[in-house]
C-alpha cells in the first residue's frame, strides 16, 4: 500500500476516524496522481473501478460501502507494483495491463507524463472493464467484442451478416448493454489495442500471397490462377475483387503486450 494510507486496505471498521482519515488521504492521492482532476475512478465495492465519480462522492462511497477487497494494488490510482512482489501475490486487472502495454509502447516511456494522457488512459481502462451489461459476471465489453470478432473471422461472415448478428444479440441483451453496434465500431474499438487484422490477397490455390514482390501481380506466378474473382460460367474476371483473402493478425503487437510487463514476461 502507499505511504500514508498503509492501514486503509486492512481497516474493517469504517465508522472510525482512523478509517475516514485514511480514506481521505487515498482520495487526495488519487486526485493528485490523476492530474488534479476532481473525477477519479471509484474503487468501492459497488462501483468496482468501473465508474468515474467526483472525489467527494468517492470518499462517501469508501466510507459507506468500503473498498473493493479484490483491489489490493492500486494501479488505477497511481500505485506501482514493487519489483520484489511475486506475481501470484498481486491482483492485476488484465485489461489494465493490456492497455498499459499498448499505450506505452516506447521503451523509454514508463509512466504517462501529461495530465490529459493520464485521464485518457484511465478512461480506456474503465471502458475495457465495463461489464457487457449491468450485473454480467462472465463478459466485459472487451471480452465479448473479441469473442464475436473471432467468430466472424473464423466463419468468414460478411459485414452485413456480422452487423445483423450484432443487432440480434444487442436486442436480446438488456437495453443498456455495451456491445458495439456494427463492424465499423467493433474495428474502431479493437484498433485501440492493435487487435485488428490485415487483409492480404492470396492465390486461390494457396500458392502465394500477393505481397512484397508479388504485390502488383494480377495472377499467381506459380499456377497462373487469376488474383481476381472469376465467374466460372462466363469466365468474366471481376478486377479489384480478390478471389481469396488471408486475414493476418500481426504478431509483433501481441508479443509487445505479452512481454511489456516484467511480471508477465517472467
Task: Dump pLDDT digits (tens) for 82-121.
Answer: 444 343 333 344 454 555 554 444 443 334 444 444 455 5
How confident is the model at residue 209, as a pLDDT? 93
- Give me the chain's average pLDDT, please: 75
Higher pLDDT, 80 or 76: 76
Instruction: Report, as an integer, the average pLDDT of 233-259.
Output: 79
For residue 2, pLDDT beyond 50 = no
Q: What's the rounded Cα separation, in Å, for the pair 239 and 242?
A: 8
Of residues 159, 147, 161, the one with CA closest to residue 185: 159
- Name the pTM for this structure: 0.40
How confident is the model at residue 83, as a pLDDT? 41
* Residue 122: Cβ within 10 Å count: 25
pLDDT digits (tens, 9 = 90+) for 153-166: 778 888 999 999 99
How confident is the model at residue 124, as a pLDDT? 65
Sequence-ordered alpha helix ranges (H) in 87-182: 94-103, 115-129, 141-155, 159-172
C-alpha to C-alpha distances, 49 to 134, 147, 202, 233, nearest whole angstrom:
14, 23, 45, 59
Q: What's the rounded Cα separation, in Å, for the pair 46 and 62?
A: 10
Q: E-strand spans in the chain?
A: 39-41, 52-54, 198-201, 228-230, 237-242, 245-248
- Read off the pLDDT band of 219 (50, 70, 90): very high
Amino acid at each position: 500500500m502507499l505511504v500514508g494510507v498503509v492501514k486503509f486496505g486492512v481497516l474493517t471498521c469504517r465508522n472510525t476516524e482512523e478509517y475516514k482519515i485514511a480514506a481521505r488521504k487515498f482520495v487526495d492521492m488519487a486526485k493528485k496522481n490523476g492530474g488534479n482532476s476532481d473525477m477519479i475512478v471509484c474503487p468501492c465495492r459497488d462501483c468496482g473501478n468501473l465508474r468515474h465519480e467526483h472525489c467527494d462522492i468517492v470518499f462517501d462511497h469508501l466510507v459507506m460501502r468500503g473498498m473493493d477487497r479484490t483491489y489490493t494494488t492500486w494501479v488505477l490510482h497511481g500505485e506501482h507494483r514493487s519489483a520484489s512482489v511475486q506475481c501470484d501475490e498481486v491482483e492485476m486487472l488484465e485489461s489494465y495491463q493490456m492497455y498499459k502495454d499498448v499505450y506505452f509502447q516506447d521503451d523509454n516511456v514508463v509512466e504517462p507524463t501529461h495530465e490529459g494522457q493520464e485521464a485518457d488512459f484511465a478512461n480506456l481502462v474503465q471502458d475495457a472493464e465495463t461489464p457487457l451489461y449491468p450485473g454480467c459476471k462472465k463478459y466485459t465489453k472487451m471480452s465479448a467484442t473479441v469473442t464475436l470478432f473471432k467468430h466472424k473471422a473464423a466463419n468468414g461472415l460478411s459485414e452485413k451478416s456480422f452487423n445483423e448478428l450484432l443487432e440480434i444479440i444487442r436486442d436480446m441483451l438488456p437495453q443498456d448493454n455495451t456491445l458495439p453496434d456494427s463492424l465499423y465500431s467493433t474495428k474502431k474499438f479493437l484498433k485501440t489495442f492493435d487487435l485488428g487484422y490485415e487483409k492480404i490477397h492470396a492465390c486461390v490455390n494457396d500458392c502465394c500471397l500477393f505481397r512484397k514482390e508479388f504485390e502488383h501481380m494480377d495472377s499467381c506466378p506459380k499456377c497462373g490462377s487469376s488474383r481476381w474473382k472469376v465467374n466460372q460460367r462466363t469466365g468474366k474476371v471481376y478486377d479489384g475483387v480478390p478471389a481469396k483473402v488471408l486475414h493476418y493478425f500481426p504478431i509483433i503487437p501481441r508479443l509487445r503486450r505479452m512481454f511489456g510487463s516484467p511480471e508477465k514476461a517472467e
